[in-house]
Every structure is written in C-alpha cells, then in structure tokens.
Structure 1
C-alpha cells in the first residue's frame, strides 16, 4: 500500500513543478523585467557624459592648480633644437606644427585651460635647446609637474630626404650638417602659468 501511494504522489508533484515553471515563463512575468533593465541601461548611458565631463574638469584644474597666483597669465613655450640648424622657414613651420598639435590635443579634453590661455592672447615664446637629449629632459620635467607637451617629428618633406640622411650647407658657411627624417624638431610646452612654465624653460635661450 505504501509503495502504491508513493507512486501515485510523484506524478502529482511533477505536474505541480511543470505548472510553476510554465507560469514563470509566461510573457506577463518577464516583460516587466526587460522593461526595467532597458530603462536602467538608458540611465547608465546618460550618466556617462556627466562622469566624463567631471573627469575633464578635474584634469583641466590639475593644469591650472600649480601656481600660487590664480590671476597669473598663461603662456606656451616652443622649444627648437639648435643642432639641426634648420632654416628660418623650417623653424617657423615646425613651431606651427607644435602649437597646433598641442592645441588639437587639448581641445577635446581641456577646454577650460585653452579658454584661459586665449584670454591671455595665446601668448607663445620660442626658445632653443642644444640637442634631442636636452629636449627630452625638458619634456620630462614639464610632464612631471603636470604641464601638457607635444613633440613634432620631422616628416622629411623639406630640407630633409625621408628615410635618409641629407647634408645641407648654411649660407656664408663652409660647414655641412645633416638631418635625419623622423628627428624631433620642436617641443611645445603648456599652456601653463608663466612662473610654472619658466621653472622648466626659464634658462633656455630665446630664439
């Protein structure tokens, strides 16, 4: 009797389980969950720009927080290598590349910094350094105190043969010099407070 009772109870339990599962997977049960998940995902997407903008403001403030005088003017310094002995036109083009390259780099992420610099009439100073090693040291020093930098590597379109060594002679000079395409020609530092930028480039000679 007991055995027959157990055999009769098992189908009844299985039917109950199947009935519960069937009710769980009915559309009216999981559609609300899908709707809630969709709304939650949209809220997360809307919060991402807010977080990104907050991060951008913190980065811009980092560049503008390393001076004791918040009313101090800002400037950009362009550093040109002396050992390459580039012509005046070449120097002008490399400095333009450095300034516009750094501006484009900061335009999307540090607009507050650029607006402050523009209010100072986009002050730019051109100085010189002896060689690439000195340029690298200036870049490292600038970045170590939070100043943005941008380096221009020559493309080899003028005064340089791409991928080769080109020997050039200076006017009124019997000396030859060479420039290798891909060499670092100019370094842009800033914009930053005058005193902060001068702590890196203040000892460099004006070009």
Structure 2
C-alpha cells in the first residue's frame, strides 16, 4: 500500500518541532558545560620493612595521627576508636580539621573517616580510609586513599581552591604521613 502524503498542516509543525528540539538540546548542553566540581580521588601506598602488626600498632588509634604524621600537632578523639568519634586536628603550621570516624576494623587493620569541611585543606566532603596489609616476608603495605570535592563549589574556582590544588594538597598530606610512618616503623 503506498504511503499517504502528510496533510499540509503537519508539514508546518515539523519545522517548529525541530526548532523546539534544537533549542532544548542547546539549553541542556549549556548547562552540562557549566557543571560544578567533580569528585576527585587520591591513593598513596608505601611498602614498609616491618610486620603489619607493628605498623598497625603505630596508627591503629584514631587519636594517634599526631604520633606519626609530621604536620599534626594534636589529634584528640572524643570517643577513641568508637564509630562516631570526632577527631580534632591541630596542624603545626596553623589551621585544623575536624574528622569523624565512620568505620573501624581492628582485625582488618583499617579505619575510615570523614570531614564535611576541609578546614585547613582546600577540599569539601572529604572521606578517607587507611589500611595496613601483610606484604609477606615480615613486610607490610599501607594504603591511604581519599575522595573529595575541591574547596570552591562553584564554577571558576580560584587557583588555590580548584581541583588541582585539592588533589595536590591531599597527595602531599598522604605522602608526608606515609614517609614518616615508614621511618618510624623501620626504626630509621
């Protein structure tokens, strides 16, 4: 059966419909390009020439960050290793950060915590986990990882609060801490 021709009134609607679709797609693409920050991630690892139990003994307490991180002056935790404990960090160079313990597993040698506000760091909605693993042969591996958003939540952040600044700051924190932990655990 041959196709029926469109009535004239339908032909007039098609250009309007196409124009509407085009306008909608342009509006959507404009908002898609003007999105806010994206979640950033950092993972740092170090192998330590010391048994996992010894390394875990140095970091296992939520309030012990001051004992092994070179930038931390104090790190009291109001409820110790209990989930919900709040750790208030005071940094040696000034500034601070408040973190809440979200998970703690002594058997798996790991804990996770969160900081809603980055405090002295150019981040927001920061979550982190640190874990010690047996690497065999009397050695251990420590992995410290975090996910976060840059400090400036809107478009066009200043250079000190953009994605690159956030990643650089967290990377520096993890590297300095793991380097010091390695030195302490290996007795050097």
Structure of higher CA gyration radius: 1
- Return the structure number with greater helix share: 1
- Return the structure number with greater strand share: 2
Same fold (TM over 0.5): no
Greater RCO between the two (CA within 8 Å, min separation 6)? 1
TM-score by length of 1: 0.28
TM-score by length of 2: 0.30
